[in-house]
Each structure stands twice: as structure tokens, then as C-alpha cells.
């Protein structure tokens, strides 16, 4: 019975690829005993993934969750940013000096914990390993304590990451292309990088390296760990710049959906690793029936992006304009002036919007509010639904067949969900690598980066023409065709299948060694 330990940070942006891989491991081999080591916030998602895997794979064993000690990564990052005066570094309008502030946050994502906290996580992870004695460990490349433990103790492990090829392959590009060809993460520079942006991009690359190499916090933690444990601290930068010899690095990306890059041999480009999800019809039959009434715009800016009333009103104003155009389109069809359906889907255009309000701003979205009144005629005819939570997974919503565009924040999961569903995207990126995905959708011809001027916020002035073109324009039809082509490429061998197969190969190698 193969025993696999999945070790990941608790944030869904990192953990979802592990949940998807665990499910596929049991789909390929129901005898696999899946263990999951992480922090408390992800425990319910692990339990749900285990239950769904048992439903799909006859004889699959329940997963075992092992809670690690300490604070999860993002909670600790926020505390570090606040303590270092960088609490709003990721949310201010970008300028030359603001990009420098953004680059200063890099060390805190690499090493958010202090020395004792880091060691506490490290030791709790080792206890899990000693308890279950896995055949192979699959570890999050951003989870420094677990990666360092695997490296120091010479355990059998594979690195898995939701990140793109760009993050791991930069150093291996010919002619130092990483510094002059590709935008540095967090700068919001476009791709291809304009010649006038090359000098400042090179400056930012060297500045970021300087910030990481000279960061006092990282040096202090590294020295503390070396003194207490005799172990080297392995960070994401360590892995990207000097990959562990003989270790596989699996990434949830593939060349066809990334920037043009030379892929180094130590990388396995799996393709999008999508978390398995029950169909909307099973999870929420009423919503499924509603979605199937007609072409639908899906607005979902992720779990971390919190929106103030001003931004919500900008999106609301855009939706008013789009819905008025849709109603005029429908009226023409009724009068026999136009035979085409909106984006090829019959019915009246509707909107489902998952809106996460800023916790510190108590603004209303119900009757009488500015947002509600602007969209009142469509809300009251149930053509616009503004919800703070949607029960089905976003990937399941995108696969209902009536979503005509995904308006999202450019997170890796949101991007991959839409790519594999063959849906065009309108992106409103708000920080870090989200800006890179804005460039990707435009480079690949599958969408728009719709807040280039108003980033990291959004404006109706920018968003409106982009959304209008995707829903009604000829270019939108071209985007839908291109999105379907990329979805077909990704479907040839799903990313989770590639990742799970690579893991099972490692397990078989371990079994041969034991014999």
C-alpha cells in the first residue's frame, strides 16, 4: 500500500494543487494512503477532498490530516509586513518608488517566521514524517521548514508548486533573458517588455536580489536554524536559483499557456492542476438551473482581494452598461433584426458576482444601497446575483456551459480554472504575480488586462470597453475560439494526472529500493 505525504501551506492558492493531486493519486491507484500535513485552516478542505475522492474512487482510503504547529504563511506575512511598515505596500497605486516598496516585501514571503517559529514548524513536520514513514513526500516549494527538513534529513521527496514556469526557469534562460525579456514580478510591466522598460526592469531585478541577500531577518533565521539544528534553510529562491540535485520539481503550468521560455530539464511542466469539484447540479441545483437560463458573466476576484465600495461601484457601473447593451441586443432578436445569440448562448444575459467586501468598511449592497439601486432592475428580475459566497467551486461554475467571460483578479487558480474551461478572461490584477497573468491573457489572445491605468484598483472607464468587446465584439469571438483551443491542449493530459503519475513513479522506485 503506497503511502504518500502531501505537505503544503494552508492558503488555497498553494494547497489546491495538493488537494487535486491527492484526489488523482487515488483515481490512478485506490490503494494509495494519502496523508496531508499543513495548518489548521485547510483541514476542512482536506476532509472534503477526502470524501469526494472516496465517492469517485471505489475502495479509496480516507485521507489523514496532520496539523502542524505554528502560524500559516499568509497570516505571518501580514504580521511581518505590518511590523516593517509595508502593510499597504501591495495595495497602493504603482509608481517607481512604490514598486521598490513592493520588492521589499519579497523577503517576508520567503521567510515570514522568526527562528523559534520556523524550528517549531520544522520539528512538528519531522514528527509527522517519523510517525507515518511515507514512501515519498510531496512538498510545497514555498514551504521552507518542510523543504529544509526533507533536504537536511535526505528524505525521498518531490517539489510541487502552483507557480508558473517563469518563476522556476528564469535563471536558465539564454543570454540572461530573465532580466531584460520578462517583467519582474510585482512591477506590472507588460510582456513583451518594451525597450524603454528594459533598463528599469534590470535595475529592479538587481534591487530585488539585493533586498533578499541583505535581509537581516532571513540572515538571523538562517543563523538561528544552523546553530540549533545544523540544517540549511531552503527557500523558494534557493530552489529556483540552485535546484536540489536529482529532485523533481512539478509545476502547475505548461509552455502553451505561459510566456515563451526555455524549460530546463529539472522541471516537469504538468499543466493546470485543477482541484476536483462536484458539478453545480449536485452542489446547488437551484443555482445550476439559474445559470442555464442564459449567457452569464462570472465576476470572482478571489478569496484574498477585499473590495471597498468605490471599486464595487465601478464594476457595478460597468455591468449596468453591459446589461443595457444586452437588452438592446435581445430586443433586436425579438424583432427579427438579429439572429445571433450573445456569445452563442441563447437567453438573456445575466451576472453572478462573488463580492468580498472589505472587513473594515461596513457598506451596504442590499435594497437602498448605491450598488443595488444602480443594478435594481436586473437584480429584481433575478438576472444579477451579488453573493458573498458561492457553494460550488469556481471551476464547476465555469464548466456549466453558459459562462461567457470570467472577470477575475489574475490569481493562478482563477487563471487556470478559466483556461481549462475554455473561457475568455477579463483580468483586474491587484498585486504581485497577478499582473503577469494580465500580460499572459493578452499575449495568448484569450482576454484583456482591464486595469492597466487604474491598478491595483479598477475603473469603469477601463473595464467597460474590455468587457463589452469580449461579450459582444468580433474580437471576443476570436478569444473564445483561442480559449477553447488551449483548453483542448490542457485536456489531452490533465495536469493532476501528470503530477500524480510522476509521484507514483517515485513510489515505485522506493519500493524497488526496499526490495
pLDDT in tens, 241-298: 999 988 999 999 999 999 999 999 999 999 999 988 889 999 999 999 999 999 999 9
The predicted structure's pLDDT at residue 54: 92
What CATH class does 280-492 carry? alpha beta
Between these two residues, 126 and 339, which has the higher pLDDT value?
126
The predicted structure's pLDDT at residue 513: 44
Determine the average pLDDT of the residues in 164-170: 92
In our burial notation (b when 16+ CB lie closer than 10 A, e otherwise), range 454-478 reads bbbbbbbebbbebbbbbbbeeebee
CATH 3.40.50.2000 positions along the chain are 3-274+494-514, 280-492
> What pLDDT band is residue 357 in, cutting at 50, 70 and 90?
confident
Residue 400 has pLDDT above 90, yes or no: yes
In the beta sheet, which residues pair with residue 140?
160
Compute the distance between CA of residue 202 and CA of residue 180 in angstroms, rounded to an integer. Answer: 6
pTM of the full structure? 0.92
Between these two residues, 364 and 435, which has the higher pLDDT value?
435
Burial class (CB in 10 A: 0-12, 13-18, 19+), 166: buried
pLDDT, tens only, 59-82: 899 999 999 999 888 888 888 888
Cβ atoms of residues 351 and 296 within 8 Å? yes
Cβ atoms of residues 188 and 94 within 8 Å? yes
The predicted structure's pLDDT at residue 434: 92
pLDDT, tens only, 173-199: 999 999 999 999 989 999 999 999 999
**Measuring CA to CA, how many Å separate 399 from each of 7, 122, 296, 298, 355?**
29, 40, 12, 11, 20
Percent with pLDDT over 90 in the chain: 75
Cell readout for 103 is 520588492
Between these two residues, 501 and 307, which has the higher pLDDT value?
501
Residue 512 has pLDDT above 60, yes or no: no
What phi and psi values does residue 42 have, to the nearest 5 degrees?
Answer: -95, 0
* DSSP designation for 345: B
Compute the distance between CA of residue 109 and CA of residue 498 in angstroms, rounded to an integer. Answer: 28
The predicted structure's pLDDT at residue 510: 52
What CATH class does 3-274+494-514 carry? alpha beta
Determine the average pLDDT of the residues in 159-173: 93
The SS3 call for residue 202 is helix
Residue 515 has pLDDT above 80, yes or no: no
Count of Cβ atoms closer than 10 Å to residue 210 Cβ: 11
Q: 132 CB contacts (<8 Å, ≥6 apart)? A: 3, 5, 35, 64, 66
The predicted structure's pLDDT at residue 277: 87
Average pLDDT, the chain: 92
Amino acid at each position: 500500500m503506497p503511502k504518500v505525504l502531501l505537505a503544503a501551506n494552508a492558503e488555497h492558492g498553494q494547497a489546491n494543487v495538493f488537494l487535486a493531486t491527492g484526489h488523482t493519486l487515488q483515481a490512478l491507484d485506490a490503494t494509495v494512503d494519502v496523508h496531508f500535513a499543513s495548518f489548521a485552516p485547510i483541514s476542512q478542505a482536506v476532509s472534503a477532498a477526502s470524501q469526494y475522492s472516496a465517492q469517485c474512487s471505489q475502495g479509496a482510503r480516507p485521507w489523514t490530516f496532520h496539523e502542524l504547529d505554528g502560524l500559516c504563511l499568509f497570516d505571518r506575512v501580514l504580521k511581518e509586513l505590518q511590523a516593517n511598515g509595508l502593510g499597504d505596500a501591495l495595495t497602493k497605486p504603482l509608481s517607481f518608488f512604490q514598486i521598490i516598496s513592493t520588492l521589499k516585501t519579497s523577503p517576508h514571503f520567503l521567510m515570514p517566521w522568526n527562528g523559534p517559529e520556523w524550528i517549531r514548524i520544522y520539528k512538528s513536520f519531522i514528527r509527522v514524517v517519523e510517525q507515518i514513514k511515507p514512501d515519498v513526500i510531496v512538498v510545497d516549494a514555498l514551504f521552507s521548514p518542510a523543504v529544509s527538513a526533507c533536504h537536511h534529513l535526505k528524505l525521498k521527496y518531490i517539489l510541487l508548486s502552483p507557480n508558473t514556469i517563469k518563476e522556476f526557469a528564469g535563471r536558465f534562460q539564454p543570454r540572461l533573458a530573465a532580466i531584460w525579456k520578462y517583467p519582474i514580478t510585482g512591477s506590472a510591466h507588460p510582456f513583451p517588455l518594451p525597450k524603454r522598460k528594459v533598463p528599469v526592469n534590470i535595475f529592479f531585478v538587481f534591487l530585488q536580489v539585493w533586498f533578499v541577500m541583505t535581509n537581516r531577518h532571513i540572515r538571523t533565521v538562517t543563523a538561528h536554524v544552523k546553530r540549533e539544528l545544523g540544517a540549511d534553510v531552503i527557500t523558494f529562491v534557493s530552489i529556483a536559483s540552485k535546484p536540489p540535485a536529482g529532485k523533481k520539481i512539478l509545476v502547475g503550468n505548461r509552455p502553451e499557456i505561459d510566456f515563451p521560455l526555455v524549460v530546463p530539464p529539472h522541471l516537469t511542466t504538468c499543466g493546470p492542476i485543477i482541484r476536483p469539484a462536484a458539478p453545480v447540479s449536485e452542489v446547488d441545483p437551484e443555482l445550476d438551473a439559474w445559470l442555464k437560463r442564459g449567457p452569464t458573466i462570472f465576476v470572482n476576484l478571489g478569496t484574498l482581494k477585499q473590495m471597498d465600495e468605490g471599486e464595487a461601484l465601478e464594476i457595478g457601473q460597468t455591468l449596468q452598461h453591459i446589461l443595457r447593451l444586452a437588452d438592446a441586443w435581445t430586443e433586436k432578436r425579438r424583432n427579427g433584426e438579429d439572429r445571433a445569440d450573445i456569445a452563442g448562448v441563447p437567453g438573456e444575459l445575466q451576472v453572478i458576482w462573488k463580492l468580498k467586501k472589505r472587513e473594515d468598511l461596513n457598506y451596504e449592497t442590499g435594497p437602498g444601497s448605491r450598488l443595488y439601486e444602480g443594478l435594481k432592475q436586473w437584480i429584481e428580475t433575478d438576472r444579477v446575483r451579488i453573493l458573498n459566497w458561492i457553494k460550488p467551486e469556481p471551476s464547476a461554475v465555469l464548466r456549466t456551459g453558459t459562462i461567457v467571460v470570467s472577470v477575475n483578479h489574475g490569481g493562478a487558480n482563477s487563471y487556470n480554472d478559466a483556461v481549462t474551461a475554455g473561457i475568455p478572461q477579463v483580468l483586474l490584477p491587484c498585486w504581485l504575480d497577478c499582473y503577469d497573468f494580465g500580460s499572459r491573457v493578452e499575449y495568448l489572445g484569450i482576454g484583456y488586462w482591464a486595469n492597466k491605468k487604474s491598478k491595483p484598483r479598477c475603473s469603469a472607464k477601463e473595464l467597460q470597453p474590455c468587457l463589452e468587446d469580449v461579450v459582444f465584439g468580433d474580437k471576443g469571438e476570436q478569444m473564445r475560439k483561442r480559449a477553447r483551443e488551449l483548453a483542448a491542449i490542457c485536456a489531452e493530459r490533465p495536469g493532476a494526472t501528470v503530477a500524480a503519475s510522476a509521484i507514483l513513479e517515485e513510489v515505485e522506485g522506493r519500493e524497488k529500493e526496499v526490495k
